[in-house]
Structure 1
């Protein structure tokens, strides 16, 4: 399936700034508001449905015998123009 990037930004940020962005996203999701992403001249507004596919992934990239790069990826996904999707099995905890 072809993929189209609607918005993308990447830059170094302090942990506090990242937490602020995630809190703003969480507040928008909790209130049922649209989510607008904006950086420079880029902007996109999305309206996530009540239920979304939620993926959290921890990865290590790099050589097996040396230092690599660690990441935490968080993804929300839903069918375009869908009002509901199935709930996932299992409980996720972030500690």
Structure 2
């Protein structure tokens, strides 16, 4: 968990992902379309990926899925469902602005 916290605080937006996950791809694309350049950590390409995935599940990122796990401003926001809800209700832009991920 310490490694996740450290990585999550290195940039305004950090996404823990798997390169083969379609929901991860959709969330990454959403952030790119917002003008955000997130730091991406592909767990399936990391030697400690399984360990981080278990820690993300304990964090409560999802009942059955650990990824995508999105951190904004160093704080855990949630997985795809939460991020999409924030986007649809207009709250995501404010979070991104407050974290310094976007300027508009």
Normalized against structure 2, the TM-score is what? 0.24
Higher relative contact order (CA 8 A, sep 6+): 2
Greater fraction strand: 1
Normalized against structure 1, the TM-score is what? 0.26
Larger CA Rg, structure 1 vs 2: 1
